[in-house]
């Protein structure tokens, strides 16, 4: 995937548990348009978005901001294990700090996989400031298919070569990253988790993207998200697509999102290009 020539800037965010790294891609002509904030998946980080943030910035002509959650990527080590409420915790504890230190007022929330659940919570808990919500391959509940995918991944990462790939992005935190993902999702206490209670609180245009061949969740997830939000949500089910659509077709996903934002979220006269 070719990376557009869009400069990025790194900023360290200070939290009460340690520092987290954020990165912003800013096209020259973005002006004052509302930025898009990316929430990564359970094993993700800034670097694993690869070329997609730059593609998205280019297509939407908006700032795109990604960050490594505490314990991931280049951010500081997290010494504790997150609780089963960790998805909502991101919206209540860490996202407000990111907004405050980066000066983010209105925002568009974009989340992949478990980051999609975090984006939903951000859109709900900060509804007056959320201009639009985009989820990609997000889970809405704990499905047998999701658990099976996690168990298969656990077996794969038991191989030295696979685990070394994880270490390439998370360094010495790789074991914590993997164990946190597996332990929470496979724990009995997490089995009843859903987004059902928070979805009706989302009050912005929403695009729900999911691949038909997603190994971590069936089409029941995007349907549940779209139905829970209601008429302001649009669902797109992509044929022959797995869990990471923006890696399989980054240009196509970026164009799809740009069209959605122009059509549904709109722009103010001051923000128009």
In 10 A of CB 267, how many CB atoms? 17
The rounded average pLDDT for each run of 10 residues, N- to C-terminus, in the chain (273 residues) is 81 97 91 90 98 96 97 94 96 98 98 98 98 98 97 97 97 97 97 98 98 98 98 97 97 97 60 33
Residue 271 has what pLDDT? 36
Q: Reading across the β-sheet that carries 130-136, which strands appear in turn? A: 8-15, 18-25, 64-67, 36-39, 107-112, 130-136, 206-211, 233-238
pTM of the model: 0.95
Tens digit of each residue's pLDDT (9 = 90 or more) over 107-128:
999 999 999 999 999 999 999 9
Residue 268 has what pLDDT? 37
In 10 A of CB 219, how many CB atoms? 13
Q: At the topology level of CATH, where does 8-141+195-265 sit?
A: Rossmann fold (3.40.50)
SS3 call for 209 = strand
Tens digit of each residue's pLDDT (9 = 90 or more) over 13-22:
999 999 999 9
* Whole-number Å distance between alpha carbons of 100 and 11: 13
**Alpha helices, DSSP H only, in the chain?**
52-60, 86-89, 95-102, 114-125, 144-157, 160-170, 174-186, 220-229, 245-248, 250-260
Residue 200 has what pLDDT? 98
Domain ranges of the chain: 8-141+195-265
**Phi and psi dihedrals of 121, rounded to 5?**
-65, -40
């Amino acid at each position: 995937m070719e990376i557009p020539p869009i400069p990025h800037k790194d900023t360290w965010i200070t939290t009460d548990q340690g520092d987290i790294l954020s990165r912003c891609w800013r096209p020259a002509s973005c002006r004052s348009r509302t930025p898009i904030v990316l929430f990564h998946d359970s094993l993700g980080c800034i670097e694993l978005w690869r070329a997609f943030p730059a593609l998205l910035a280019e297509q939407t002509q908006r700032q795109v901001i990604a960050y490594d959650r505490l314990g991931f990527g280049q951010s500081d080590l997290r010494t504790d294990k997150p609780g089963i409420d960790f998805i909502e915790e991101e919206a209540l504890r860490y996202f407000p700090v990111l907004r405050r230190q980066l000066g983010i007022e209105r925002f568009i929330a974009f989340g992949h996989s478990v980051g999609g659940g975090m984006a939903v919570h951000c859109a709900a808990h900060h509804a007056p400031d959320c201009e639009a919500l985009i989820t990609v391959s997000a889970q809405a509940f704990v499905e047998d298919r999701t658990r099976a995918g996690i168990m298969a991944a656990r077996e794969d990462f038991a191989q030295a070569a696979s685990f070394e790939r994880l270490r390439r992005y998370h360094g010495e935190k790789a074991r914590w990253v993997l164990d946190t993902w597996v332990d929470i999702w496979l724990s009995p206490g997490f089995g009843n988790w859903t987004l059902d209670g928070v979805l009706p609180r989302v009050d912005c245009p929403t695009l729900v993207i999911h691949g038909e061949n997603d190994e971590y969740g069936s089409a029941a997830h995007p349907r549940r998200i779209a139905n829970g939000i209601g008429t302001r949500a649009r669902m797109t089910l992509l044929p022959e697509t797995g869990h990471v659509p923006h890696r399989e077709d980054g240009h196509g996903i970026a164009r799809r999102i740009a069209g959605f934002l122009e059509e549904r979220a709109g722009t103010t006269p001051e923000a128009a290009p």
